Structure 1
Amino acid sequence: MTTMGDVARLAGVSASTVSHVLNGTRKVDAATRQRVEAAIAETGYRRNVAARSLAGGRSHTVGLSISALTNPYFGSLVHAVEQALSDAGYVLIVGDSHDAAEPERRVTDSLLDRQVDGMIVAPAAGSEHSTLPGIARTGTPLVLIDRMLDVDCDQVGPENAASAQMLTEHLLDRGHRRIAVVRGIPGISSTTERFDGYVAALASRGIAVDPTLVLEGRSSTDDAEREVRALMASANRPTALVSMNNAMTIGTLKAVQHLGLSIPDDVAFVCYDDFEWSDLFSPRLTAAGQDVQTIGATAAELLLRRIRREDGPPQRIRVPTTFHHRRSCGCA
């Protein structure tokens, strides 16, 4: 491996001069700088940024544990976090927790082993018992993103319950009474909150929850398609559907199409999560859209404050969704 000494010998200068050229810590005359830069190019020398950072007590890296990186929502969330951290001079290291406790623990342990300056976690089910205590014991600054838990740290996520209630009430206002819900992974806070919103909407009209209309989509396109196809093929199918995330929305639409049914003529449809390409669907989808950019940027800023040792009580920030009123609900 090429060293700074190799560069210095080739350029005919001291190692400290090479260091000054690389780090801009002292003015170096143009001719000397040119020789050093030519030597760096010839030898292919690379600074050991990690060692230099750790010597100063910081790695300038942040770890992010998140699930389902193939999901467009989470991909956009990662992009928003990375953009905000990059602007502050930090590199983001991402690991996929697969929404399960053991993979999540392996991911977070690996990130901690890399001496990250802080952690952002979209917690899996049971994370408050299996993963988060280990992070807390290290004293590493921590922010939860997307999913809120009853733990003592900064958190930021979307408004779930009120948004799901609003979507369901919109269908109720259209006269629907048999409204099926496709809900996500059990034990995930966002799943619970969105289902609570659905239940609250029905209760506001004196309607009891019908267990046959509660479909376990498990945040999976395939599971949602299978569940919706079985229900919609039955004799007593619902008149409306509400899907609680974008992966399940795709599965729901595939099921309806497979059965030869039409939205909204045969079944009205609304969904939580808006797509960048929602306008390409026919009919266009009525949806509650998350402000992914704000969620990601807020999580990054909360973490940077903790890395800078700024005091203050933990913050719990809910970012409102936006109601996109289109045609799939049956409105003109």
Structure 2
Amino acid sequence: MQRNQDIIQRIKSELRKGIRQGLYTEGDPVPSELELAAKHGVGRALTRQALRDLESEGLLLRSRGRRSTVAPRAHWTRQPLQCTGAGIMAVAVPTYQSLYCRRILDGFNAEIGRAGYQAITYTISFDEPSETRFLAHVGNLGVSGLALWVQHESVQSAAMLEELLDRGMPLVLLDHRMEGVETDYVGTDNVLLGRMLTRSLLDRGHTRIGFLHDTYRLTSTRERAEGYRDALAGAGLAQMPEIEGAFLQDTPEMESVLAAIMARRDKPTAFYCSHDTLAVAVAGHLARLGYTIPGDIELATSDDDEFARQHGLPMMLATQPGLETGRQAAEMLLARMTNPDAPFERRLLTPEGGVVAYNL
């Protein structure tokens, strides 16, 4: 991985020298990604990054489908933000408002601090285009490694992650994997989490248990669905797709999906909700439909942000190990820096303290 960084620096140094010595003048095209790749015997990901870095220094102008050209000299004084990569890592989660996210950050920062590192911390909610731009930005900072909660499992984000890996950046994914991207990962064993919470409802005598989740289709959601179905099968129950539902909370879709499920003659007596924010929204809407929690319907969910407790809502709860997720992510980044060619590692953590019946 360090070799990749050395190659990028060599390509940039060669082009930078040519520009400053007048070999390439303002408006002239410089060698293309393909030409540079052939010359140096490397893949296009490395030559593309070298050209992007020179663009950020103000030396090149780039546009899709055209060769990079030398920028006007007045642009050359503009310098990109750089970090002292030898002592700085980056960590990115969707929000600081989430207790679970804060625990991840606390565990991460404590562990890298013990190793003499500091972190640039990002707590930003992205749409798909902004996540791709962020990954390009953080790749240019010069940090020693990145711990990342991927928010959109898009083709564009996957391509940017592959590019970071090709360039040799140590990368650990937090909370959930990304399909098709091979890198280090640490998070809750989501199949186990789904199985545990569904079994807790089965143990309370429920046989009509629905599964409700959001529409983001993250691997964590798919794995929790797998655990849910495993638990039903283990109890000798058939799958019940008619009482499963996908929607974003507090939307017309949520209202229509829940109304349709609860209008069934064989309506569920319990729901497993994929996360606690959704569970609280479901509880509120069921109450508006005239159902009591837990009298008519019981709920189970992960207790990521203690929302059920804050609202005094009775539920079956399991807690994800946020602090340990952050700590192990830092540990994995440090190990990857020491041994960049080691096989990628996937760590699945057990929910903390089993399943708890809150207010039931």
Q: TM-score range by the shorter chain?
A: 0.7 to 0.9
Q: Which runs of 4+ in 1 moved over 6 A?
A: none
Structure 1 residues 94 and 224: alpha-carbon distance in aligned structure 2, compared to 1, 3 A threshold: farther
**Structure 2 CA distance, aligned partners of 1:276 and 1:96?**
21
Structure 1 contact 65–104 (Cα < 8 Å) conserved: no
Structure 2 contact 336–342 (Cα < 8 Å) conserved: no
Structure 1 counterpart SS, 2:134: helix
**Structure 2 CA distance, aligned partners of 1:299 and 1:227?**
40
Q: Paired residue for 1:109? A: 136
Per-residue CA distance 1:209-267 (angstroms, 9 max, x = gap): 3333111134x455785366424652533110111112212211221232342211110
Structure 1 contact 228–255 (Cα < 8 Å) conserved: no
Instruction: Give me the CA root mean square deviation.
Output: 2.8
Counterpart of 1:200, as a letter, is D
Q: Paired residue for 1:74? A: 101
Q: Paired residue for 1:249? A: 279
Per-residue CA distance 1:264-300 (angstroms, 9 max, x = gap): 1110111123444644443543211111100011001
Per-residue CA distance 1:134-176 (angstroms, 9 max, x = gap): 1112211111111124543221010111221121122223232
Counterpart of 2:355, as a letter, is H
Q: Paired residue for 1:183? A: 213
Deviation at 1:101, TM superposition (A): 4.0
Which 5+ residue runs of structure 1 have no aligned equivalent? 1-49
Q: Paired residue for 1:158? A: 188
**1:203-214 → structure 2 map (5 Å cutoff):** 203-214=233-244
**Structure 2 CA distance, aligned partners of 1:274 and 1:129?**
26
Structure 1 residues 291 and 228: alpha-carbon distance in aligned structure 2, compared to 1, 3 A threshold: farther
User: TM-score, normalized by length of structure 1?
Assistant: 0.72
Number of equivalences: 274
**Structure 2 CA distance, aligned partners of 1:69 and 1:238?**
35
**Structure 2 CA distance, aligned partners of 1:300 and 1:145?**
10
- Which of 168, 174, 178 aligns to 2:198? It is 168
Deviation at 1:321, TM superposition (A): 0.4
Deviation at 1:126, TM superposition (A): 3.3
Residue 90 in structure 1 maps to residue 118 in structure 2: yes
Structure 1 contact 65–107 (Cα < 8 Å) conserved: no
Once the two structures are aligned, what percentage of the paired residues are identical?
24
Structure 2 counterpart SS, 1:325: strand
- Which of 135, 154, 158 aligns to 1:126? It is 154
Structure 1 contact 97–103 (Cα < 8 Å) conserved: no
**Structure 2 CA distance, aligned partners of 1:303 and 1:190?**
21
Q: Paired residue for 2:166? A: 137
Per-residue CA distance 1:7-44 (angstroms, 9 max, x = gap): xxxxxxxxxxxxxxxxxxxxxxxxxxxxxxxxxxxxxx
- Which of 301, 321, 335 aligns to 1:291? It is 321
**Structure 2 CA distance, aligned partners of 1:114 and 1:148?**
24
User: TM-score, normalized by length of structure 2?
Assistant: 0.67
